[in-house]
């Protein structure tokens, strides 16, 4: 029963710290897990490397400190190579998951997501990594809910459109049947007239007396007159019905057209949500992935060359830490607009992630792209960003490369521009670096 007693006492003691008076630290699953992970007696129940015992006074003692309970990259000598490799592999998987989620991130998750990315990249032990996994799972669940909601909206649009098209088809068929009926009535009328006139012709052929012929003709003309009057009234009624049906059909067509335009607008809006970065209002990572594949395809087929610029805001973490995330967001938005204003209408600009922007310069070789990159770098360096009366100085490091015949995959082109940007940072930041030669193969940053 000792382990249960340890667990019960530790849980009660931990929960006391989450009293209603403690507003700074609300009771959430993440906070609770973090609090539990700080208690050696709880960890001992799940990790055999802890040697926790209860002394005669009922107090918990541990033969090992918490730091040794978890595999840590910074504790050489206490962690074997196998554990380090396992930690690195687990962290690599988490990073890949977050990179895949990044194009779906909206403003309501933005700062939280990028902070999570940073924490995962810097995490050096298993237990905190597990806690971060819980937060990743929460974000995934929220994104799934949002995706399902968008799918439901799209499905509703399609159902309404399908219903409208069905009604339109039904009305067109009704109108077609109506026209056939009208045609048949006209044919019957003509046949009736021909029958009466035929009778009059036959009266002459039978050598009847003038009196008989006259009586027959008068009778037939009277009947024809009545038939024509009936037909005229019938035509008026049917014409009125036809006019009403045409007006109704025209109104319905206008309504359907308006509804289709509304669906198209909402569809375009949904597409923008998927391909537009909420913060900077430029293209997002998903839009870039689609664009680069299209450009590489055109390059292979038609030889349409292009260059890439990878623009990274130098020491952006210092802006967030020193002035707050709102200031950082505003700076990033203004940087994106400055870069956009330096590009041509035909060029493509996207937020690649965090504080990185990527541009595709159509028809540009590396030399021309370097000039554009220098113009961007110089313009941002000379710009002063203001937030709440304070001046924030921002610089950028820019990597440049040109597409090459050996680029069989967009990732290969990106590796070069990523390396060029890295060398610009390593060279002192606030500079442009160009790479046009093929690099040795290495891991592609997705």
Q: What does the pLDDT look like over 152-164, one tens digit per residue?
A: 666 776 777 677 7
Q: Is the pTM of this model over 0.75?
A: no
Q: What does the pLDDT look like over 204-244, one tens digit per residue?
A: 666 667 777 777 777 877 777 777 777 778 777 877 877 78
**Spatial separation of the C-alpha atoms in residues 123 and 134, rounded to whole Å:** 14
Confidence band for 351, pLDDT divided at 50, 70 and 90: very high
The pLDDT value given to residue 19? 57
What contacts 4, CB < 8 A, 6 or more positions away? none
Residue 253 has pLDDT above 60, yes or no: yes
3-state secondary structure of 436: coil
**Spatial separation of the C-alpha atoms in residues 118 and 177, rounded to whole Å:** 69
Contact 417, 306 (CB under 8 A): no
Contact 18, 32 (CB under 8 A): yes
Q: What does the pLDDT look like over 296-348, one tens digit per residue?
A: 999 999 999 999 999 999 999 889 888 888 899 999 999 999 999 999 999 99
Domain boundaries, the chain: 2-139, 158-275, 285-435
**Spatial separation of the C-alpha atoms in residues 290 and 275, rounded to whole Å:** 10
- Greatest mean pLDDT range, 144-148, 233-237, 380-384: 380-384
**Spatial separation of the C-alpha atoms in residues 100 and 285, rounded to whole Å:** 10
Domain 285-435: give its CATH superfamily. Answer: Reverse transcriptase/Diguanylate cyclase domain (3.30.70.270)
Confidence band for 295, pLDDT divided at 50, 70 and 90: very high
3-state secondary structure of 357: strand
**Spatial separation of the C-alpha atoms in residues 427 and 434, rounded to whole Å:** 12
């Amino acid at each position: 029963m000792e382990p249960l007693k340890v667990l019960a006492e530790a849980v009660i003691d931990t929960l006391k710290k989450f009293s209603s008076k403690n507003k700074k630290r609300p009771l959430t699953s993440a906070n609770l897990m973090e609090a539990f992970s700080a208690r050696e007696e709880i960890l001992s129940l799940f990790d055999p490397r802890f040697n926790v015992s209860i002394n005669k006074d009922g107090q918990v003692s541990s033969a090992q400190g918490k730091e040794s309970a978890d595999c840590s990259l910074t504790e050489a000598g206490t962690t074997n190579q196998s554990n380090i490799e396992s930690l690195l592999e687990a962290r690599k998987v988490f990073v890949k998951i977050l990179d895949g989620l990044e194009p779906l991130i909206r403003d309501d998750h933005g700062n939280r997501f990028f902070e999570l990315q940073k924490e995962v990249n810097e995490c050096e032990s298993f237990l905190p990594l597990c806690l971060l996994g819980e937060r990743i799972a929460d974000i995934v669940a929220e994104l799934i809910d949002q995706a399902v909601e968008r799918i439901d909206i799209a499905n509703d649009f399609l159902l309404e459109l399908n219903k409208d098209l069905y009604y339109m088809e039904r009305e067109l068929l009704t109108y077609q049947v109506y026209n056939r009926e009208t045609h048949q009535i006209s044919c019957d009328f003509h046949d009736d007239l021909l029958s009466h006139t035929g009778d009059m012709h036959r009266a002459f052929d039978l050598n009847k007396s003038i009196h008989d012929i006259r009586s027959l003709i008068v009778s037939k003309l009277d009947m024809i007159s009545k038939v024509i009057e009936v037909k005229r009234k019938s035509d008026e009624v049917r014409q009125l019905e036809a006019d009403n049906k045409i007006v109704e059909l025209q109104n319905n067509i206008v309504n359907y057209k308006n509804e289709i335009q509304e669906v198209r607008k909402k569809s375009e809006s949904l597409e923008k949500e998927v391909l537009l970065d909420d913060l900077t209002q430029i293209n997002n990572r998903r839009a870039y992935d689609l664009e680069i594949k299209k450009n590489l395809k055109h390059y292979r087929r038609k030889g349409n060359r292009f260059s890439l610029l990878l623009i990274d805001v130098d020491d952006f973490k210092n802006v967030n830490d020193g002035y707050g995330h709102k200031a950082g967001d505003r700076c990033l938005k203004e940087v994106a607009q400055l870069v956009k204003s330096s590009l041509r209408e035909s060029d493509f600009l996207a937020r690649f992630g965090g504080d990185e922007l990527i541009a595709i310069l159509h028809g540009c070789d590396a030399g021309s792209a370097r000039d554009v990159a220098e113009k961007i770098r110089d313009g941002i360096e000379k710009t002063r960003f203001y937030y709440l009366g304070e001046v924030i100085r921002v610089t950028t490091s820019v990597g440049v490369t040109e597409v090459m015949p050996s680029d069989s995959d967009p990732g290969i082109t990106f590796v070069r521009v990523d390396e060029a940007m890295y060398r610009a940072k390593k060279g002192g930041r606030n500079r442009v670096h160009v790479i046009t030669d093929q690099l040795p193969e290495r891991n592609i940053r997705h």
